[in-house]
Structure 1
């Protein structure tokens, strides 16, 4: 029976086993792929993710919270057009807790060029989320006061197996993102609103390199990330 890759996966053209879309080496047969082949596979996967409807599963308990998870093809559960979940194709999950006035946003970076790019890519996602919240995102209650962003990045272990690891996490005030005049400040300037920055081992060297050249633009973020 032919194997069917899921979203973010593809078939190795040599052994026909399933691998990650952004894999540069097949973990099954060892076939190496050119940068052009990997770029084409990632572009195809990104397109598929954008075309896939975002499903919304809302669960309301006595404590009062709603959870929105990207995925699913039930038309009755699709998110409305103005959503945090749909703000960027790399956003994997959005959880909004009405009782605690807190939201959590999980982001799976679709590709990595260098760990030094992590702050820039994170800022781009924050900007997309902020614009969505400011526009009245339907999956983020207006009562939300704080947000936690956490980002994962592709990784390859010592055995050549593709995986993901948390790269960085930080908190922001939702009201800061509502007040920003987007387009009037640099995207990376949004990182200055980050607090409680937690940098994981896989990203430490890259973020240190970023801050070495951008500490004037991001003094607060770099101080938090140190």
Structure 2
């Protein structure tokens, strides 16, 4: 996708000023010190991943060109919540061309509720392009996907997001992360991310105890 096309879709190389984005939240969004998952682990007592869906879906209008597709044919789509101390902190949306998923990202199909960063950041063959940033309004398709499982997010006028392209061989993977308000209460770690093997996960896989809302089952 060209820079001009990205701007039309609201994506930019910098996160524009917004009074709703506090300095702490901005540090979370713009921090570029490795795996976001590892940063969340460092800022919480218990961390886990809730997989919402993983199946072929048509990519969004501002995604298919990034993947190198010539039209909106289905791509393998994965959506998860990154959960800190039983409170959803980040909504992550990943898309990759189906043939690339089989050839260059074979671990995706069996990833389940394990963090994607646990594979990407230990593979020396993986590179990442610079971030793009956006402020997502409630009618954006990613906000709509989030609001289906966390309806309490709907009244919020804006949520900050970032995305980046990961490359391995000829495979292209687009990962978008939407940052949820509960991160405001978690100081962004001021040091490098901890090693991925030190992940701690909750043993309770039941409903999330959150003042925000319960997670609803995705039907799309």
Shorter-chain TM-score above 0.5: no
Structure with larger RCO (C-alpha < 8 A, sep 6+):
2
Q: Whose helix fraction is larger, Structure 1's or Structure 2's?
A: 1
Greater Rg over alpha carbons, structure: 1
Query: What TM-score, normalized by structure 2, do the two folds share?
Result: 0.21
Query: What TM-score, normalized by structure 1, do the two folds share?
Result: 0.21
